[in-house]
Amino acid sequence: MSEHRVIVVGGGLAGLAASIRIAEAGVPVDLFSMVPVKRSHSVCAQGGINACNEVARQQGYSEYQHFDETLIGGDFLNDQHPVLEMANWAPKIIDLLDRMGVPFNRSSEGYRDLRLFGGSLFKRTHFSGATTGQQLLYALDEQNRRFVSEGKVTEYNFWEFLYPITEGEGENKRAVGIVAQDMRTMQIRSFRADAVVMATGGCGLVFGKSTNSVICTGGAASRCFQAGAWYGNAEMIQVHPTAIPGADKCRLMSESARGEGGRVWVPAKKGDTRKPNDIPENERYYILEERYPKYGNLVPRDIATREIFDVCVNDGMGINGQNQVYLDLTHKDPDYLTEKLGGILDIYEKFAGEDPRFTPMKIFPAVHYSMGGLWTTYTPGDYSPSEPMPEHKPGNPIPVGNEQGHGLTIGAHNNAMTNIQGLYAFGEVNFAYHGATRLGANALLSCIFDGLCNGVSVVNYIRDENHAGVSEVDQSVYDNAVKQEQDKHDALLATTSNNNGNKENNPYQIAFELGEIMNNQSTVVKTAEGLQKCLDKIDELSERYKNVQLGDGAMWTNQSLSFTRTVGDMLILAEAIAKAGLLREESRGSHYRTDFPERDDEKFWKASVAKFNPNTGKSDIEFVPVKAGLVKLRPRTYGKTAPEKAETKTPEPANA
């Protein structure tokens, strides 16, 4: 038994949850991360984590409704069974995190406090100040450290995943290890494993400035993609409505700011240059409240983003004509704000120089999350209604209980497994959960759920008697994989130009241009024309990348090399994202095509599946039916009122 090993790539919430679950089962884990795991991107999650709870339950909420909300939020592109299982696990996951010591905010009586979040009218979001992701990550990191100290987990911090090692072809292809590089010594070597769990997060950097950390390049996912793993719903990229634009990145302003009462508005009069606090209430246009009276500021992110975009870009009503709107919390008590949102308000103050407790924040949408990711499969659980259920109303009897095993068959080998045997995808890099838009505070849940629930599947898979151990795999498979990566590495090193080279071939310039075109053409509003332009640009950049020139030829801690290598992988992923977007000729969730503004269930109630074609170096896209059957399709409106242009609401100009 002890010869079995599992590799987990990525030390965020999903990777750590997997590592802990697998190590707990007695299987040694090798955990790879480009940063000390405590610095993983999960720290950036702010708002909270969703779960049904007793208070909400007594008001008619249920795990089932959480499931239903997640599906309508995702515009029915989610795989339905894992979402059901996830929603059912959610309250138990909160309990577990509580036991681990996460300092969830407390009511005055000492119960876990709750807040509102987008996509729900119930308080079902648990939180720890405004740095919930950080707190959850730390709790898992602490548990993982315990296993490290007991020798059950080996951490490889500052190691970059280069490629999965596989053997066999077609359906028999299975993962038997990885090639990785020490980012300090630049040593490249192979690691054997009976299963490999990818928990490598999203790909925000493909879009240049995003809310993501600098490590969220999508490089690792792209490498698996190139090794034959399929990539699902690549085009589904979430643009967060509220971020603080910056020179190096766009910093997230949590949805919890809206959950705690934040109001989004612009001056009702175009070109009003008064300071926000000088503009009276009746001369403000509260964008979301007027357009969505039922949900108001709590509409899902894609909708909020599009409306803000519409007001700024189409109507030109942004603050001072710029692409900015106000997110206003000044009507709330400053002490209340400090307790509930202190962390993010301080961040705003640090970067923008104004205290959001007293001055409305200026925000604009920014790329935030990738619903798409490595395509995965699963074995459904025992809940199988004779026909899909209609919309669930609060308080109605629930069609299925909250016990485990209704959504997924717990421990089935293939849960969250990619099309490559033994190669799993957990967390953001798993495409299954969030469909066409992720609801706020569901990301932390899906990451931890994947690790805990599907970690068991990994253990079962490697202990299967029919499964030959990797110790029997020939060493040459590993040596060849290392050689392939070493050659790639050496070839890049050989291009070192000492910057005498052409600026066109500078990797930073290529990455910058990629980010610019992707951000402009493949985010909030897409068109066939724009996406084609995007693909053409990617072609041009890929050509230039062939002649890329490195600025640093060092054999020690060469960040330039690592970045340049990743730019190549980002180009490949970007192509899949843009192409899938071009081929999906409808609008659904975050994917909004002005040339196809309606949802087209007939043709596109399907997941896009990108497969890498080694001959063309590009992706081939197929559309496969969404794994549904539990809930019936219905329109996604969030009670939008008839489109009203702001002008009609504009009051008489003030006599000023």
Partner 1 sequence: MGAAQASIIGAEERKANRAVAVEGRSVIFKIKRCDGPGKPWRWESFKVPTEPGSNVISSLRHIAANPVTVDGKETTPVVWDSGCLEEVCGACTMVINGRVRQSCSCLIDEYAPREGDEIVLEPMSKFPVIRDLWVDRTRMFNALERVKAWVPIDGTYNLGAGPQEDHDHQQMRYALSECMTCGCCLEACPQFIKKEHEDQWESSFIGPQAISQARLFNEHGTGKRLKDERMDTLTGPGGIQDCGNAQNCVKVCPKGIPLTESIAAIGRSATIHSIKKFFTGK
| Pairing outcome for strands 125-126 and 174-182 | unpaired
Does residue number 38 form part of the binding site for partner 1 (CB under 8 A)? Answer: yes
Which member of 123, 142, 167, 460 binds partner 1 (CB under 8 A)? 142
In the complex with partner 1, the residue whose CB is nearer, 113 or 569, is 113
Query: Segment 407-466, which members bind partner 1 (CB under 8 A)?
Result: 452
Does residue number 551 form part of the binding site for partner 1 (CB under 8 A)? Answer: yes
Sheet of 284-286, strands arranged across: 251-252, 237-244, 361-370, 325-328, 263-267, 284-286
Binding mask 504-543 for partner 1 (x = CB under 8 A): --x-xx----------------------------------
Instruction: Provide the 10 A C-beta neighbour count for residue 352.
Output: 18
Which member of 486, 532, 557, 650 binds partner 1 (CB under 8 A)? 557
Query: Segment 334-353, which members bind partner 1 (CB under 8 A)?
Result: 339, 343, 347, 350-351, 353
The least distance separating partner 1 from the CB of residue 370, rounded to whole angstroms, comes to 17
Applying CB under 8 A, the span of 31-39, 259-267, 424-432, 646-654 interacting with partner 1 comes to 31-39
The least distance separating partner 1 from the CB of residue 250, rounded to whole angstroms, comes to 10
Does residue number 249 form part of the binding site for partner 1 (CB under 8 A)? Answer: yes
Query: Segment 470-509, which members bind partner 1 (CB under 8 A)?
Result: 498-500, 506, 508-509
Which member of 10, 48, 164, 245 binds partner 1 (CB under 8 A)? 245
Does residue number 35 form part of the binding site for partner 1 (CB under 8 A)? Answer: yes
In the complex with partner 1, the residue whose CB is nearer, 138 or 605, is 138
The least distance separating partner 1 from the CB of residue 65, rounded to whole angstroms, comes to 21
Contacts of residue 616, defined as CB under 8 A and 6 or more positions apart, other chains included, come to none
In the complex with partner 1, the residue whose CB is nearer, 40 or 419, is 40
Please give the single-letter amino acid code of residue 343: G
Asked if 50 and 490 count as a contact pair (C-beta separation under 8 A), the reply is: no
Query: Alpha-carbon distance 315 to 167, whole Å?
Result: 56
In the complex with partner 1, the residue whose CB is nearer, 28 or 629, is 28
Query: Alpha-carbon distance 453 to 548, whole Å?
Result: 43
Residues annotated as catalytic are 301
DSSP characters over 562-591: HHHHHHHHHHHHHHHHHHHHHH--S-BTTB
The least distance separating partner 1 from the CB of residue 490, rounded to whole angstroms, comes to 18
In the complex with partner 1, the residue whose CB is nearer, 259 or 507, is 507
Query: Segment 251-280, which members bind partner 1 (CB under 8 A)?
Result: 251-252
The least distance separating partner 1 from the CB of residue 234, rounded to whole angstroms, comes to 24
The least distance separating partner 1 from the CB of residue 103, rounded to whole angstroms, comes to 4
Which member of 226, 377, 527, 560 binds partner 1 (CB under 8 A)? 560
Query: Alpha-carbon distance 340 to 338, whole Å?
Result: 6
In the complex with partner 1, the residue whose CB is nearer, 234 or 352, is 352
The least distance separating partner 1 from the CB of residue 46, rounded to whole angstroms, comes to 9
Per-residue buried b or exposed e for 149-173, using 16+ beta carbons within 10 Å of the residue's own CB: eeebbbbbbbbbbbbbbbbeeeeeb
Applying CB under 8 A, the span of 129-137, 173-181, 536-544, 641-649 interacting with partner 1 comes to 129-137
In the complex with partner 1, the residue whose CB is nearer, 157 or 226, is 157
Instruction: Provide the 10 A C-beta neighbour count for residue 241.
Output: 31
Binding mask 276-305 for partner 1 (x = CB under 8 A): ------------------------------
In the complex with partner 1, the residue whose CB is nearer, 245 or 422, is 245
The least distance separating partner 1 from the CB of residue 101, rounded to whole angstroms, comes to 4
CA dist 231 to 207, 430, 601, Å? 18, 9, 21
Q: Is 499 exposed, middle or buried (0-12, 13-18, 19+ CB in 10 A)?
A: exposed
CA dist 79 to 127, 534, 624, 635, Å? 26, 29, 12, 18
Which member of 55, 57, 98, 167 binds partner 1 (CB under 8 A)? 98
The least distance separating partner 1 from the CB of residue 483, rounded to whole angstroms, comes to 26
Query: Segment 198-237, which members bind partner 1 (CB under 8 A)?
Result: 213-215
CA dist 3 to 20, 26, 95, 164, 188, Å? 18, 11, 33, 20, 23
**598: nearest Cα among 628, 642, 644, 637:** 637
In the complex with partner 1, the residue whose CB is nearer, 151 or 643, is 151
Please give the single-letter amino acid code of residue 275: K
Does residue number 105 form part of the binding site for partner 1 (CB under 8 A)? Answer: yes
Does residue number 637 form part of the binding site for partner 1 (CB under 8 A)? Answer: no
The least distance separating partner 1 from the CB of residue 290, rounded to whole angstroms, comes to 31
Torsion sign (Cα): 75, 81, 82, 86: positive
Give how many residues touch partner 1 by CB under 8 A. 72
The token pair at 312 is: 């700024």
Does residue number 554 form part of the binding site for partner 1 (CB under 8 A)? Answer: yes
The token pair at 539 is: 């072609």
Helix pair angle (528-546, 507-521), 10° resolution: 170
Does residue number 354 form part of the binding site for partner 1 (CB under 8 A)? Answer: no
| Pairing outcome for strands 195-198 and 423-425 | parallel
In the complex with partner 1, the residue whose CB is nearer, 98 or 167, is 98
Alpha-carbon Rg for the chain, nearest whole angstrom, is 24
Q: Report DSSP state, residue 607.
A: E
